[in-house]
Amino acid sequence: MSDAATVSDRDVFALDWINRQAALGEPWFFAQAPTPLEAPYPIAFNDDVAALLDIDAEAAREQGYAETLSGNALPAGTNPVSHRYGGHQFGVWAGQLGDGRAITIGDVRNARGQAYEIQLKGAGKTPFSRFADGRAVLRSTIREYLGSEALAALGVPTTRALAIVGSDAPVYRETAETAAVMTRVAPSLVRFGSFEILFENRNFDALAPLADHVIGQHFPELAGIEDDGERYRAWAERVIALTAELIADWQAVGFCHGVLNTDNMSVLGLTLDYGPYGFMDSFDPHWICNHTDAGGRYTYDQQPHVGLWNLGRFVQAILPLLSGEPDAAVEIGQALLEAYRGRFDAAYMQRMRAKLGLPDARDDDRALVDDLLRTMAADGADFTRTFRALGHVSAAPAAANAPFVDEFVDRDAAAAWLDRWRARLGGTGADDVARAERMALTNPKYVLRNYLAQQAIDRAADGDYSELHRLHAVLRRPFDEQPDNADYARLPPDWARGLVLSCSS
Distance CA 193, CA 264 (A): 8
pLDDT per residue over 27-70, tens digit each?
Answer: 999 999 999 999 999 999 999 999 999 999 999 999 999 999 99
SS3 at position 244: helix
Q: What is the chain's percent helix, strand, coil content, to nearest 5?
A: 45, 15, 40
Report the alpha-carbon distance of residue 282 to residue 270 in Å, rounded: 26
**Annotated binding-site ranges for ATP:** 98, 100-101, 121, 133-134, 184, 191, 273
Cα separation of 482 and 488, whole Å?
A: 10
Q: Annotated catalytic, 370?
A: no
Query: Are the CB atoms for 336 and 233 separated by under 8 Å?
Result: yes
Biggest distance spanned by C-alpha atoms of the chain = 72
Binding site per annotation, positions: 98, 100-101, 121, 133-134, 184, 191, 264, 273
**In angstroms, rounded to a whole number, what is the distance separating the alpha carbons of residues 103 and 101?**
7
The pLDDT tens digits for 425-469 are: 987 766 899 999 999 999 999 999 999 999 999 999 999 999 999
Tell me how far apart the alpha carbons of residues 80 and 120 are, in angstroms, rounded to a whole number: 10
Q: What are phi and psi of 364, to 5 degrees?
A: -90, 10
pLDDT of residue 431: 87
pLDDT given at position 255: 98
pLDDT in tens, 369-405: 999 999 999 999 999 999 999 999 999 988 999 999 9
What residues does each domain of the chain span? Answer: 7-189, 193-354, 357-440
Of the pLDDT bands very low, low, confident and very high (cuts 50, 70, 90), residue 268 is very high
| pLDDT band of 497, cuts 50, 70, 90 | confident
pLDDT tens figures, 292-316? 998 999 999 999 999 999 999 999 9
What would the mean pLDDT of 334-354 be, rounded to a whole number? Answer: 98
**Among 267, 254, 172, 316, which Cα is nearest to 450's?**
254
- The predicted pLDDT at position 503 comes to 65
Give residue 498's pLDDT.
61
Of 263, 293, 382, 432, which residue is the catalytic one?
263
User: Distance of alpha carbon 390 from its chain centroid, rounded?
Assistant: 26
What gap in Å lies between CA 290 and CA 58, rounded to an integer? 38
Whole-angstrom distance, CA of residue 43 vs CA of residue 274: 19
Residue 498: how many other CB atoms lie within 10 Å: 7
On average, the pLDDT of the chain sits at: 95
User: What's this model's pTM, rounded to 2 decimal places?
Assistant: 0.95
**Cα–Cα distance measured from residue 415 to residue 397, given in angstroms and rounded to the nearest whole number:** 11
Evaluate whether 50 touches 94 at the Cβ level (below 8 Å).
Answer: no
- Is residue 110 within 8 A of residue 103, CB to CB? The reply is no
pLDDT of residue 500: 65
* Alpha helices for 357-443 (secondary structure H): 365-379, 383-390, 411-424, 432-440
- Confidence (pLDDT) at 7: 40
